[in-house]
Structure 1
């Protein structure tokens, strides 16, 4: 399920990075490896839970709610983008991405920096949508000052 959410935005990065994140193995030439989308998605959900918990239980603003909510959402988007980009880049530096996905027959790089940025942007979009949805659902139960207007 997590993978299908990310695949809605897979146009922001290369098909080779998408294949790696989906678990493509160069040795077996099939999708038999670990699905990294699940790891990134679970990390994003944990980040979202932490940020929403801090915002609605610790900060819980009584004034300038909308501004503080937007700043918190922006911070969560930046952290999610950096986290996903770093996670994928770390996979390349550790040698987890197969050579068939990294280089073509001429030695040209198939996955580059812009692909990691695209993955980060897609993760930022996902966390912003989830931030809005969970703010509407969670604020009523966890917030004192934002019980009826989550943002």
Structure 2
């Protein structure tokens, strides 16, 4: 219901491969968010393989999956809505891969998406741990430090809540 651009429709989340343009944008955005979170976890000296909510038999960076959850909506979901509703991306920006049925941004549109995503990650917001504004990327780093502190001090972890 939040999509006001009639050229785009969303009814069900699907991935691997994404079968429509909205799912394609969400998957690409989540992949970029995941990689940002993963690199910041490693930079903080934490093992990304020891998660709390995500887990499995395979050796995957489950902590990155855990810590990216609180940023999906404020960073990626609202970003994708902006791209769609502002017509920054258009239906012609997507290609369908016949062999898999996957729908992906074409090369030129990926460049635009990446530029816009970087702007989003550098967008300044407030964070309760600081008096000054921080970028989303810095907010992720602060949350990873909160997580690390909760491990070391045994205190409860406080999730990121975007204030408007």
TM-score range relative to shorter protein: 0.3 to 0.5
Computing the radius of gyration over CA atoms, which structure comes out larger, 1 or 2? Answer: 1
**Bigger share in helix:** 1
TM-score by length of 1: 0.35
More strand by share: 2
* TM-score computed with the length of structure 2 as normaliser: 0.32
